Structure 1
Amino acid sequence: MFKIMIIDDNKELQNEIGNVLITNEYEILKPRRFDNIPQIVKESKVDLILLDINLPYDDGFKICTEIRSFSKIPIIFITSRNTNIDELMGITLGGDDFITKPYNTQILLARINSLIKRAYPNNSNMNTIEYKDLKLNILSSTIEHDGKTEELTKNELKILHYLLINKGKIVSRVDIMDYLWDSSMFVNDNTLTVNITRIRNKIESIGLKDFIKTKRGQGYII
């Protein structure tokens, strides 16, 4: 799975973009400090950066220049500054794309997808997730462990994928149902219970027990 860093001091917008990216199967990183962004980029191993221009400490242009001194990671400027000079500076200093606010979500996703495909043409990490000896293959909708394979339904795939991208965190039942709703699927409380049970049974059938744990009154955690 590709990891995208959202560098924007507007927390509401950071969260909004982050939720869209998670729904579309990206992992995200949202820095809360802006005094040493290039160092955070070095340490985080992200695959793409969404970068605002107006930031505390250094502006986006300077940050882009510093990142370009050590990395060719794709950078998309997302900013309310919409003059030709701003766009020219962004591209000249090493940005790969320039999108002005307010932006169309689908256009933003299309630009991100296109840039990632160009930057990582031979990378298949967006198609599989591996965690605790379980391999989830998103393209074939299967899980694998120790040479054994089980097929997942569309709902099962979405639920397990959502739990995996939130690994180590408790995910509430409401969060899962909201996520499926955003993905144009609908499940009620009883259907979710049935799907979780089926996922657990399939994971256990390939040799992994207690992979999905229930936190009573809170939700599930992997």
Structure 2
Amino acid sequence: MYRIMIIEDDAAMAKAMQKQIEAWGHEVRCVEDFRNIIHAFGEYDPHMVLMDIMLPFFNGYHWCSEIRRISNVPVIFISSASDNMNIVMAMNMGGDDFIPKPVDLEVMMAKIQAVLRRTYDMAGKTPMLEHRGAILNLNNTSLTYNGERLELTRNEFRILQTLLENKGRIVSRDTLMTKLWQMDSYVEENTLTVNVTRLRKKLEAAGLNDFITTKVGSGYIVG
């Protein structure tokens, strides 16, 4: 079973597509907030995206470009503008296939199955963690927010990964120190404080204020 995200502002069409895809045993989520698609993408972590070109606020080309900054997940464009120029544009913007409107549901499923086989027989999906629109890529240890990529040090990445894996729970300083310095017999506690402070400054510079909260006497939590 694969997770498939539908980004289509025609609710009736999106529901018809969802019903057909679910009949094939896949899980489906339809985007409803077209202002915050990247947040929904990171939260759902789909194996495939079906993307309409004409959307409210920003078009599908824009959102495909944003997705491509953080993931190689396959994207199939859907559009009534199925002339050669739009098809070429869709492929150049990072799309993997194109389905013209009105959508033939049988043709849609054939293309979905073909792209899924081609993609996941060859490689797995990109593992990531998401919170408040910030997406931590576990393959290249980078953090992406609002289309900007932040390079993290090894320690900063491990701290953030541990906190995101425990979203909503306080992570003790001892737990973080064990994650960071498993091979060392002794590390000063101040070293952890310094690393957290540097990470906070990077997050705040990117616009992620109060992303990591200190719980005095307990540890840290992402919020």
Aligned positions of 1:61-210 closer than 5 A: 61-121=61-121
CA-CA distance at 1:120 after TM superposition:
0.7
Aligned to 1:6: 6
**Helix, strand or coil for the counterpart of 1:15?**
helix
Residue in structure 1 matched with residue 55 of structure 2 by the alignment: 55
Q: CA deviation at 1:51?
A: 0.3
Which is higher, the Rg of structure 1 or of structure 2? 2
Where in structure 2 are there 5+ consecutive unaligned residues? 125-223
Corresponding residue for residue 39 of structure 1: 39
The alpha-carbon deviation at position 103 of structure 1 amounts to 2.5
The alpha-carbon deviation at position 7 of structure 1 amounts to: 0.3
Q: Does 1:21 align with 2:21?
A: yes
TM-fit CA distance, 1:113: 0.4
Residues 9-37 of structure 1: CA deviation (Å, up to 9, x unaligned): 11000100000011111100011110011
Partner Cα separation in structure 2 for residue 64 and residue 99 of structure 1 = 15
Q: Which runs of 4+ in 1 moved over 2 A?
A: none
Root-mean-square deviation (CA, aligned residues, Å) is 1.5
Distance 1:3 1:24 in 2: 12
SS in 1 for 2:98: strand
* 2:37 maps to amino acid: I
With the length of structure 2 as denominator, give the TM-score of the two structures.
0.54
Cα shift at 1:122: 6.7
Task: Give, in whole Å, the separation in 2 of the partners of 1:123 and 1:82.
Answer: 30
- Report percent identity of matched pairs: 33
Further displaced range: 58-67 or 115-124: 115-124
Q: How much does 1:80 deviate?
A: 0.7
Structure-1-length-normalised TM-score: 0.54
Q: Distance in 1 between matches of 2:15 and 2:104?
A: 16
Q: CA 1:45–1:85 in structure 2 vs 1: closer, same or farther (change >3 Å)?
A: same
CA distance in 2, matches of 1:122, 1:91: 20
Aligned AA for 1:47?
H
* Number of equivalences: 124
Give unmatched runs, 5+ long, in structure 1: 125-222
Match of 1:218 in 2: none
